Amino acid sequence: MATQASPAKTRVALWDNARFALIVLVVIGHLISTVRTDTELGFGLYAYIYLFHMPAMIALSGLFSKPEVTPKAIASTVQLLVVWGAWEGIWALLHGVVEGKKLSQSFLVSPAWTLWFLVTLATMRILLPYIARFRHPLALATGLALIAPLLPAIGVNFSAARTLAFLPFFVGAWLARERGWLSGAWFERPSRGLRVSAWALLAGVAAAIAAVALLPGGFRGFWRIDRWLTHRDSYAWMFAKAPIGGWNANDAGGWFGLAASGILVGAILIALAAAMTFALLVVISRKHSIATVWGARTLYVYLLHGVVVWALRESGVVDSIGALGWLGIVLLTAIAAGIAVLLSTKPVSVVFRPIVEPKLDWMFGRSEAPTR
């Protein structure tokens, strides 16, 4: 322990409020995932959430990342990897004891369910010092994100596909903070016009999803966009399994047609996610509240909610509630919000700190120990 405590950094309410809002969306998305195709409301809500919630979470992580390879940055990344490894073990134990599953051959290669985020975040932190040396780092990151799905070999192993898909948001957020793009009163205290525009964008996307849902066959019949928004597969696979209104780029144009079509769709999804992320940051409250406190504990929610959702799925609770149709989706949404609040409370963080924020000071020197 240091002999002289350094002054604590003041947490900005905006970022923690945004984190809490996003983690609630994460829990909702996971809780309705297995019943999303049962109703148009469920599918539309799932699509809306997945259009931007993970890009936004990645962006918030990028905002506070630095391209310098400092001892503390190394220690922080190591801690992420240690937590990932520990939770891989926890999931393997749960599946083995409850479901009787043997240890998969892809253990520690293909991250278990939600754990891809830890692997992706650690990888991005490792890559940032190199990407930051390029003249146009955001263009590079965006190019990698758009080109990667052309290569089927880039898939779920070590979360490679998702890392590249979300890299522009991590790099873009770091660049925004580095170059002061979000500095000034215009962002700290958004004008009414900017707030109205942001709300209009978020509402407009929801209205567009609702409009497509009214088409014959519904949204699901027009486009299984959910298969695109998981960011795990190649353009060829996504066009084959989820053509857009019957448009399958595999049918004509050859490889170059497929590449151009996939990159076009990918670029639109990236632009939309970026716009919705920015809109969310504009409309989120800048004031301190209980949500601000909860937003400082989102890692607990992220890691622990998976076990809760898995238990609710295995017990049949999710299917039973989902069978109620649109009312079931509303109830599951409310339950998800409750789970997020519960897992954000202080008692939960005290009990589960050893497996969420383990103390690894013993692995490093004083200056290298991870900061909390």
In a domain, 266, yes or no: no
CA atoms within 13 A on the CB side of 275: 15
In a domain, 304, yes or no: yes
SS3 category, 26: helix
Neighbours of 197 (CB within 10 A): 15
Q: H helices of 70-191, where?
A: 71-99, 116-131, 137-147, 160-178, 185-188
DSSP state of 158: G
Cα(134)–Cα(164) distance, integer angstroms: 17
Which residue's entry shows tokens 């050893």?
Answer: 354
In a domain, 294, yes or no: yes
In a domain, 240, yes or no: no
SS3 category, 238: helix
Cα(312)–Cα(28) distance, integer angstroms: 13
* pLDDT string in tens for the chain (372-residue length): 333 444 446 789 999 999 999 999 999 999 999 999 999 999 999 999 999 999 999 999 999 999 988 888 888 999 999 999 999 999 999 999 988 888 888 899 999 999 999 999 999 999 999 999 999 999 999 999 999 999 999 989 999 999 999 999 999 999 999 999 998 899 999 999 999 999 999 999 999 999 999 999 999 999 999 999 999 999 999 999 999 998 999 987 789 999 999 999 999 999 999 999 999 999 999 999 999 999 999 999 999 999 999 999 999 999 999 999 999 999 999 999 999 999 999 999 999 999 999 988 888 766 555 554
| Chain centroid offset of residue 255 CA | 30
From first CA to last CA, the distance across the chain in angstroms is: 14
Q: Cβ(278)–Cβ(53) under 8 Å?
A: no
In a domain, 5, yes or no: no
In a domain, 182, yes or no: yes
The whole-model pTM stands at 0.93
Question: Which residues does 194 contact at the CB level (< 8 Å), separation at least 6?
Answer: 186, 282
Number of domains in the chain: 1
In a domain, 264, yes or no: no
In a domain, 135, yes or no: yes
Domain hosting residue 56, numbered range: 13-235+274-368
